[in-house]
C-alpha cells in the first residue's frame, strides 16, 4: 500500500535523480580517437573515388594509375558537429590533433564543411576544397586549413606554407614554414594541432616536425581571429581534402583525434534543466503539503476510531468477560501450535488452550483479519459479552493486541453437534447411535430456545 510518506520519498528521489541527470548531460561532447586506421573504421568515413584506408592511414588522393591532377576527400560521417545554435549566441569550442605525411605534389587541407561531395575539377591548386566556380561563392560553406606544397598560381605564397581558407582557396592568413625548417613534403611526419575557442573566436594552429634522425625538431604556433558561424551552417562535417598536380603526390593521415566542448548543449540543457528542476521542486512542495494534510486527516480519523474502540472496550471490561493479554493466550495454546488445532470456521481457526490462572480448558478462536475489521470485532465482543443462556457457548475472555483478534470460549470435549451426527467408529468414541430420538428432540428444543433468546435479545 502506498503511503504519503513513501510518495514523498519517491518524489524526492526523482528530483535528486533529475538533478544528477541535468548535471551529467552537460558533459556530452563529440569525441573520437584513431591512433591508426584499419578496415574496421571504414564505415566511420565517407571516401571519394580513389580515397581509401591503406597501410594504417587515411589515403586522401589516388596513388595508382593516372593520379596527376586528381583530388580526393575523406570525411568523418559517424557523427556531425553541432557548431552553433539558431541565435548564434553560443558556439562550440573544439580541439583536434592529427599526423600527416606528404610526398611532393600539390598539398592537402583539414576541412570543416556542410557538404560531403567532392567538387568536380578540384585537383591541382584547388586542393579538393573548391573549384573555379565555387571559389569565394557565398554558398561555398567551407573552412579549411591548407598545407600547400607547391606555388600553383601567382598570388600563392610559396611552395611550403600553411594558411586559413574561408570559402576560398586564397588563404586569409597564410604563413611560410621554410624559414622554420619545417618542410611539409619531406616525407616525414608532421604533427598538427588546432584549437578553436568559441568565446574569443581564436583559431590556434600549431605545427611541429621532427628531424629525419628522430632527434630534436621544429615547432610553430599562430593564433588567428575568426568567427566560424559567419562561414558555416550549424551542423558540419569534419575531414580532409587533397589534390595532385602535374606530379603524383601521396597525402596520408596517420592518426587523428577530435574533442568538442559541447557549449550549445550545456547552455540549452542548463536553461531547460533549471526550469525542469524548478517545476519538480514546486511539484514536490505541493505533494508534500497535500501529504501532510492527508496524514493530518487520517490521524484525526484514527484518533476518533481509537476513542470509539476504547469506549467499547471500557464497556466490555465493565460488565463482560476477561480481557486477556496476548502472551497469556499464546502460552495457553503453545503459541498456536498446529497440534492444538481443533478446527476452522466462522471467520477463524480454533485452538485448544489451558489457562493456568483459572485452571480450565478453553477454545481460543483466532479471528482472521480478512474476515472482519477491528471495529466489527470489538462491537461483536461487546454484543456477545452481554449474552447469557445455558444453550449458548459462554465467552470467557477476549484479546485485541499486537494485531491479533482472539476470543476464548468454554471448551466442550465432546465436540460440536455435527461430529456426533456424522461420526463413525474411526473418528470418535461416540457414534450416531448414541443420539436416540428422545435425545435429538431435546437438542432441537435447546437450539430453538437459544435462537428464541437471541431474537428476543435483539
Binding residues for ATP: 365
- The H or E element spanning position 153 is none
3-state secondary structure 269-296: HHHHHHHHHHHHHHHHHHHHHHHHHHHH
Q: Which three cell numbers stand for residue 327?
A: 502472551
Cβ atoms of 372 and 295 closer than 8 Å: no
Q: At what angle do helices 263-319 and 4-25 cross, to 10 degrees?
A: 170
SS3 455: helix
Cβ atoms of 89 and 210 closer than 8 Å: no
Distance CA 317, CA 373 (A): 20
Distance CA 230, CA 143 (A): 10
Distance CA 240, CA 251 (A): 10
Other C-beta atoms within 10 Å of 322: how many?
16
Helix H segments across 41-88? none
**Which residue ranges make up the annotated binding site?**
365
Nearest Cα neighbor of 32 from 363, 255, 312 is 255
Q: Which three cell numbers stand for residue 408?
A: 476464548
Cβ atoms of 365 and 345 closer than 8 Å: no
Q: Apex CA 352: angle with CA 427 and CA 368, to 5°?
A: 105
Amino acid at each position: 500500500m502506498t503511503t504519503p510518506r513513501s510518495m514523498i520519498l519517491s518524489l524526492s528521489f526523482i528530483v535528486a535523480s533529475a538533478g544528477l541527470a541535468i548535471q551529467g548531460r552537460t558533459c556530452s561532447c563529440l569525441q573520437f580517437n584513431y591512433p591508426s586506421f584499419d578496415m574496421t573504421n571504414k564505415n566511420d568515413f565517407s571516401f571519394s573515388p580513389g580515397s581509401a584506408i591503406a597501410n594504417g592511414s587515411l589515403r586522401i588522393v589516388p596513388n595508382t594509375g593516372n593520379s596527376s591532377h586528381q583530388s580526393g576527400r575523406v570525411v568523418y560521417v559517424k557523427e556531425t558537429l553541432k557548431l552553433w545554435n539558431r541565435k548564434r549566441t553560443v558556439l562550440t569550442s573544439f580541439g583536434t590533433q592529427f599526423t600527416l605525411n606528404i610526398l611532393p605534389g600539390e598539398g592537402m587541407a583539414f576541412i570543416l564543411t556542410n557538404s560531403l561531395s567532392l567538387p568536380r575539377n578540384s585537383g591541382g591548386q584547388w586542393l579538393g576544397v573548391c573549384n573555379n566556380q565555387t571559389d569565394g561563392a557565398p554558398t561555398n560553406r567551407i573552412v579549411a586549413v591548407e598545407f600547400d606544397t607547391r606555388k600553383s598560381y601567382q598570388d600563392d605564397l610559396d611552395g611550403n606554407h600553411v594558411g586559413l581558407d574561408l570559402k576560398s582557396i586564397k588563404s586569409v592568413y597564410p604563413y611560410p614554414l621554410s624559414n622554420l625548417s619545417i618542410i611539409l613534403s619531406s616525407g616525414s611526419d608532421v604533427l598538427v594541432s588546432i584549437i578553436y575557442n568559441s568565446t574569443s573566436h581564436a583559431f590556434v594552429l600549431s605545427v611541429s616536425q621532427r628531424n629525419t634522425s628522430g632527434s630534436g625538431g621544429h615547432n610553430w604556433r599562430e593564433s588567428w581571429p575568426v568567427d566560424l558561424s559567419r562561414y558555416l551552417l550549424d551542423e558540419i562535417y569534419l575531414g580532409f581534402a587533397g589534390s595532385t598536380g602535374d606530379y603524383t603526390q601521396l597525402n596520408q593521415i596517420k592518426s587523428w583525434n577530435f574533442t568538442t566542448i559541447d557549449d550549445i548543449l550545456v547552455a540549452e540543457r542548463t536553461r531547460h534543466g533549471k526550469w525542469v528542476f524548478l517545476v519538480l521542486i514546486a511539484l514536490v512542495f505541493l505533494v508534500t503539503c497535500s501529504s501532510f494534510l492527508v496524514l493530518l486527516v487520517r490521524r484525526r480519523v484514527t484518533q476518533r476510531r481509537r476513542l470509539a474502540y476504547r469506549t467499547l472496550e471500557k464497556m466490555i471490561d465493565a460488565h463482560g468477560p476477561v480481557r486477556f493479554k496476548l502472551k497469556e493466550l499464546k502460552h495457553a495454546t503453545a503459541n498456536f501450535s498446529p497440534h492444538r488445532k481443533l478446527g476452522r470456521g466462522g471467520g477463524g481457526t480454533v485452538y485448544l488452550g489451558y489457562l493456568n490462572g483459572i485452571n480450565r480448558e478453553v477454545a481460543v478462536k483466532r479471528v482472521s483479519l480478512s474476515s472482519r475489521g477491528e471495529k466489527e470485532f470489538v462491537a461483536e465482543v461487546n454484543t456477545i459479552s452481554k449474552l447469557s443462556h445455558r444453550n449458548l457457548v459462554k465467552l470467557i475472555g477476549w484479546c485485541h493486541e499486537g494485531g491479533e483478534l482472539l476470543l476464548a470460549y468454554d471448551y466442550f470435549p465432546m465436540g460440536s453437534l455435527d461430529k456426533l451426527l456424522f461420526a463413525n467408529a474411526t473418528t470418535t468414541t461416540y457414534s450416531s447411535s448414541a443420539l436416540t430420538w428422545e435425545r435429538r428432540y431435546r437438542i432441537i428444543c435447546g437450539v430453538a430456545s437459544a435462537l428464541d433468546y437471541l431474537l428476543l435479545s435483539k
